[in-house]
Amino acid sequence: MSHQNYNLQNELTQLIDLHSELDGTYPTRIPFLSFSRYSEVTGPTYGVYNPSLCIVVQGKKEVLLAQERFRYGPGDSLVASVDLPVTGQVIEASSEVPYLAFKLEFAPNQILEVLSETEIRSVLKGNAKRGMYVSQLDSPVLDAVTRLVRLLDSPKDIPVLAPLFTKEILYRTLQGPHGDMLTQMAIEGSYTYRVKDVIQYIMNNYDKSFRIEELAEIANMSVSSLHRNFKEVTAMSPIQFQKQIRLQEARHLLLTESTDAADVAFRVGYESPSQFSREYSRMFGLPPREDIKRLREKEESAVNA
């Protein structure tokens, strides 16, 4: 790591540490920017990564997309270009050296705005690419990220400067080795863009059954082309994608509404409670009732600690 990067990394670590005093995830005054802090290794957490740039400045994290592992720590960045259901786990953290991370979410129109104002080439390409990658954090991105976070100490500057620094971060990321993946996500007509439309449809209709032909029609692709490109972007089939969204939502409902497992199974689109219980156990390690009991006990012990 260069001397400049070392200094920027240290400053960013101190800033995130200052603005996240307790364990958890913290939104900030800067739109779409949040910090995470954990003072111990965590168990798996399940959720959907929105299009975003994630940077770990201290500790390490592992993200599982289907069966594909992405591990990153200081000096790395993780980028998600589309909504992806993942399992995340902090794998290196302690009270002395807590896990600290930065997450900046973005939208396709922000990418298009950068593309329209620059000479970055945006050519339609035949093959879709994986919607997530880890790469080494380069100096220009780290510099822009640090300047963005500094704005938290001068809130009056946020409305004017935060959009400019965010645009710069996206511009620098688009110039990186995986920038084409983000470009394709934003360009109407590309395979990645059309897969994104199918992802959005499944996210909005996860509780309904669908025929693969319907999804292919939404994407304006053949069934075989949709299967191939969808799996290339998400590392799973449309059915597997829907199943992960359904089970994540079911767990959320069980945890927040204390609802009966069979009722939740029907609400998220399962016709068979026994099938729901089997697939839930396969994903979370325990049947619904036992899993929720374990989570509540864990929450109580954390509150009483």
192 within domain boundaries: no
**161-178 pLDDT, tens digit each:** 999 999 999 999 999 888
Domain that holds residue 274: 240-304
pLDDT reported for residue 119: 76
Would residue 61 count as lying in a domain?
yes
Q: 252 and 175, same structural domain?
A: no
- Do residue 131 and residue 276 come from a single domain? no
In contact, 129 and 195? CB cutoff 8 Å: no
DSSP 8-state secondary structure symbol assigned to residue 138: P
Question: What are 12-65's pLDDT values in tens digits?
Answer: 999 999 999 899 999 999 999 999 999 999 999 999 999 999 999 999 999 999
Scanning the structure block, which residue is given the tokens 């996240």? 20
- Domain end marker among 186, 221, 252: 186
Global pTM reads: 0.92
Collapsing DSSP to helix, strand or coil, 236 comes out as coil
Q: Is residue 206 part of a domain?
A: no
Last residue of a domain, one of 151, 170, 186: 186
State residue 6's pLDDT score.
82
Boundary-marking domain end, from 165, 186, 207: 186
Please report whether residue 90 resides in a domain: yes
Distance CA 148, CA 166 (A): 7
Using alpha carbons only, what angle is made at residue 167 by residues 165 and 170, rounded to the nearest 5 degrees? Answer: 110
Q: How far apart are the first and last CA of the chain?
A: 38
Backbone angles phi, psi at 90, to 5 degrees: -75, 120
Higher-confidence residue of 25 and 305: namely 25
Q: DSSP string covering 15-45, please?
A: HHHHT--SSEEEE-SSTTEEEEEESS----E
Are 55 and 158 part of one and the same domain?
Answer: yes
Tokens of 254: 């069980």
